Amino acid sequence: MNTLQEIPKDQLDVFKENVTNWLKIDSDICELEKKIRVLKKQRKQDEKEVTQFMVKFNISDLNTNNGKIKCNARNTKKPLNKTNIRENLSKVIQDINSIDKAMELIINNREIVTTYKLTKPKKK
């Protein structure tokens, strides 16, 4: 059984100060993240319009007062999902039961990593 241990006053004061500091920093971060979300949304819209213009008129580089801007094309692969994995396995493996077993192994045998993080419930 757990027995309650009395917390020394000096350690409790330091703990309370740390919690208060954490809460203030968390509040400051939340405010800044809201501003960042608004700015990123506007930047994304502007980027879309600028890149469309540059692609339309075949402009690859743009000199500005703040430096050079390049319009680069990048091809990326979509993330893996169950449908994609199943379709590709069926191209190699004909037996549906083998595909189902492979899918089960792939989905259920992923490594689990435990991390700890402080969170604050959202206000309603």
Per-domain boundaries in the chain: 9-75, 77-110
pLDDT tens digits for range 63-73: 889 888 898 88
The mean pLDDT value for 10-19 works out to 95
Give the side-chain half-sphere CA count within 13 A for 68.
6
Claim: this prediction has a pTM higher than 0.85? no
DSSP H helix total and E strand total for the chain: 3, 2
Pairwise pLDDT comparison (22 vs 3), residue with the higher score: 22
Q: Enumerate long-range contacts of 47-51, CB under 8 Å, 24 or more apart.
A: none
Q: What is the pLDDT of residue 52?
A: 92
Percentage of residues of the chain with pLDDT beyond 70: 94
Site of tokens 């979300």: 37
- How many residues would you count in the chain? 124
- Contact 70/49 with Cβ under 8 angstroms? no
pLDDT in tens, 71-91: 888 888 888 888 998 999 999
